[in-house]
Structure 1
Amino acid sequence: MRSGSAWADVVGQAEAVDVLRDAVAAAARQVRGEDVAPGAMTHAWLFTGPPGSGRSVAARAFAAGLQCTDEELPGCGQCSACRTVLAGTHADVRVVAPEGLSISVAEMRSLVQAAARRPTTGDWRVVLIEDSDRLTEGASNALLKAVEEPPPRTVFLLCAPSDHPEDVSVTIRSRCRVLSLRTPPASAIAEVLAERDGVDPQRAEWAASVCGGHIGRARRLATDEQARERRESVLRIPLGLRRFADVFTAAQGLVKLAETEAVTANEERNESEKEELKTAMGAGGTGKGTASATRGANAALKELEKRQKSRATRSQRDSLDLALVDLAGFYRDVLVVRSGARTELNHPDFGSTVAKAAGEWTAESALRRLEAVLDCREALNRNVKPIIAVEAMVATLHGG
């Protein structure tokens, strides 16, 4: 794939890219008024795949291809249209990336209204909804009406994880063309880390081997020492639960780790947003009208803080879930070793620790521990308080 093109970041998904390129070509013929085979290009797409497979990356590349001005190489990545789409600034491409726990009906109604307008600079108006599984029931209904009766030059691109496809309403799914992505191979991830991000090849291979096929996670592990330290602290838990008192220490440590990571990830952005809002509302001004402006600024600031709190909660949940995925991978590795199966480990760099655990535990005990981790993830999805869910899990991890 040509370096620098919009498709270059869609890692390990050659078949999906071929489908999208064919659709882009069909869309161009449709714009020119030529006949297009039924289904070659459709107004609604659902990108599914496991976490880290690059659903939103593929959707952005598709959006760039639709808007690209290079007729010979659509999705060239070099023209103004491609660059603005990939940067998130194209006038006709609206991206919704939920930062809170859900996408509200008010936000979706506003989006649907914008989608009804004709494109201004490009050939298509594109609406890209990341994590469309977070749509509330009201938001799903608002989107459904638009998908059922779409404007002629509007395309909806929805992204949702394949492990919870039922979270996207069946009526919406039935009106979308589904594009399924796969977990990218470690070799492809290592290659893109080394060539695009300049990561040392040996570090890139290690990160690709332990990321579970999650491209973004591989990049963080390869470039962020703190991310590597957090992963190691999580994987030390299974054999670190020697006394029952360790249960509470480990549970509190896991939750605190997630909280700290959420604060670190959002702190700088939160302060920047507050300063920008204060400046926009005339902070520090004097003279007539200052009092009413100050009241308006305070109200806007409270609303911003509410959104930031929701974003922090989402970040904490995501961080904690990532730690649980690592733990689940550890217990899965123990079962693999005990069974003698010839398959790659999720955590090959912890092979000796896994082997030690496999020698100490029965297969039934390892399976109970794995189930406890999965039950904890489910409890968190049902909004159980994190410390309660994690303590219950760690207690099982201790007792087996």
Structure 2
Amino acid sequence: MAFKEIVGQRQAVEILRKAIHENRLSQTYLFVGPEGVGKKLTAISLVQALNCKIEPFEGCGKCDICEAIKNLSYPDLFYIEPEGQWYKIQQVRELRKEAYVKPYIGDLKVFILDEAHQLRNEGANALLKILEEPPEHTLFILIAYRPELLLPTIISRSQIINFTYLTYEEVWRIIEDKVPEDRLEVLVNLSQGSVGKAFFWNDENNWTKRVELFKYLTLLKKDKLYSPFDLVDFLAEEKDNEKIISLLELVLFWWRDLFFWKLTGDEKYITQKDFSVEIARKSQEYSISELKTFFRLTQDAIRGIRNNANLLLTLETLFLRVGLGS
């Protein structure tokens, strides 16, 4: 994956290209943006551009060096990610120790810290010590989609490179030959500009979970209270708040599609086209006003779960109100 192969993120790539050509690379970069939009790929492409002998400053993406970097097996590249939910302090200590050793092959040792926002205070402070006075032969690339969790002092020591959501067409171009054709349009819609999300929902277990969720949603009725509790139990089985939030984002798609079918009766506005029949039928049970309310209530539930609200209470409140039509 060389710079020229990255789809989207033109501004981020051009900033890095210019820094390489003008020999003005920062020693610490912070790649910030949504999940699944190319931050890791760009970091790897930067390392290729710095080490490739075939296309210096750009990276050919095909030579032995570029292949080793792509496979994270290049001796001067250290890719680090949290062990579990959080980074362990020992990971940071090992990084600091390695940083003071000279490069094995090239001119720079590069340390990529993926999900750097998952550093606890102890690990973040340990990292800060080396970022304050980094060895000349080091380059640090921190990747984060929740930079607000990073220490302000780490942010101030970094050059921030912003990444944005991809367009519908860009996501389509990236995934069209990597997913089943009959899922392609739905997955691009589900991506919301993130290739990572598209691939997440293409996973067979997640795709099956999606189908099951929509079947539960078709069973919600104003005069039957068992359906909301069945749906809550189904969601709570995940026991992972981030996965539950992903499923609730599908619920937002559901309300949106019901709303637009109710409003227009035109299938071209439907994102979940494999459920068009169910959407057309179910939209008749709700008013425009109710669908707007359900969309807002689901957004509120997502925010509540992200802010550590009681999970079961939040889900029960949401779907009881939906089931009762209020």
TM-score by length of 1: 0.69
TM-aligned CA deviation for residue 157 of structure 1: 0.8
The residue number in structure 2 matching 1:303 is: none
2:164 equivalent to 1:182: yes
Cα distance in 1, alignment partners of residues 270 and 68 from structure 2: 37
The residue number in structure 2 matching 1:394 is: 319
Cα distance in 1, alignment partners of residues 284 and 34 from structure 2: 28
Q: What pairs with 1:100-249 in structure 2 (closer than 5 Å)?
A: 100-161=84-145, 164-195=146-177, 197=178, 199=179, 203-222=183-202, 224-242=203-221, 243-249=224-230
Q: What pairs with 1:1-400 in structure 2 (closer than 5 Å)?
A: 5-7=1-3, 10-26=6-22, 36=23, 40-72=24-56, 74-161=58-145, 164-195=146-177, 197=178, 199=179, 203-222=183-202, 224-242=203-221, 243-256=224-237, 258=238, 316-333=240-257, 347-349=271-273, 350=275, 356-357=282-283, 360-363=286-289, 365-382=290-307, 386-399=311-324, 400=326
Cα distance in 1, alignment partners of residues 2 and 312 from structure 2: 42
Look up the SS of the partner of 1:158 in the other structure: strand
Show CA shifts across 1:52-79 (max 9, x none). 2122222222222223233446321122
For the 8 Å contact 2:117–2:147, the answer to whether it is kept is yes
Q: CA RMSD in A?
A: 3.1
Cα distance in 2, alignment partners of residues 373 and 134 from structure 1: 27
Cα distance in 1, alignment partners of residues 159 and 204 from structure 2: 40
* Cα 1:220/1:104, change in 2 over 3 Å: closer
For the 8 Å contact 1:10–1:54, the answer to whether it is kept is yes
Look up the SS of the partner of 1:113 in the other structure: helix
Show CA shifts across 1:10-29 (max 9, x none). 33222222222223334xxx
Look up the SS of the partner of 1:103 in the other structure: coil
* Cα 1:142/1:334, change in 2 over 3 Å: farther
TM-aligned CA deviation for residue 136 of structure 1: 0.7
Cα distance in 1, alignment partners of residues 81 and 149 from structure 2: 16
For the 8 Å contact 1:335–1:358, the answer to whether it is kept is no
TM-aligned CA deviation for residue 117 of structure 1: 2.2
Aligned length: 319
Q: 2:322 corresponds to which letter in structure 1?
A: L
TM-aligned CA deviation for residue 9 of structure 1: 5.7
* Cα 1:170/1:92, change in 2 over 3 Å: same
TM-aligned CA deviation for residue 351 of structure 1: 5.5
TM-aligned CA deviation for residue 128 of structure 1: 0.9
TM-aligned CA deviation for residue 206 of structure 1: 4.0
* Cα 1:201/1:233, change in 2 over 3 Å: closer
Look up the SS of the partner of 2:112 in the other structure: strand
TM-aligned CA deviation for residue 369 of structure 1: 3.1
Q: 1:360 corresponds to which letter in structure 2?
A: Y
Cα distance in 2, alignment partners of residues 339 and 41 from structure 1: 52
TM-aligned CA deviation for residue 8 of structure 1: 5.7
Cα distance in 2, alignment partners of residues 201 and 13 from structure 1: 26
TM-aligned CA deviation for residue 389 of structure 1: 4.4
* Cα 1:114/1:367, change in 2 over 3 Å: farther
For the 8 Å contact 1:239–1:357, the answer to whether it is kept is no
Q: Percent identity, aligned pairs only?
A: 24
Look up the SS of the partner of 1:94 in the other structure: strand
For the 8 Å contact 1:9–1:57, the answer to whether it is kept is no
TM-aligned CA deviation for residue 154 of structure 1: 1.0
Cα distance in 2, alignment partners of residues 210 and 250 from structure 1: 21
TM-aligned CA deviation for residue 250 of structure 1: 0.8
For the 8 Å contact 1:68–1:76, the answer to whether it is kept is yes
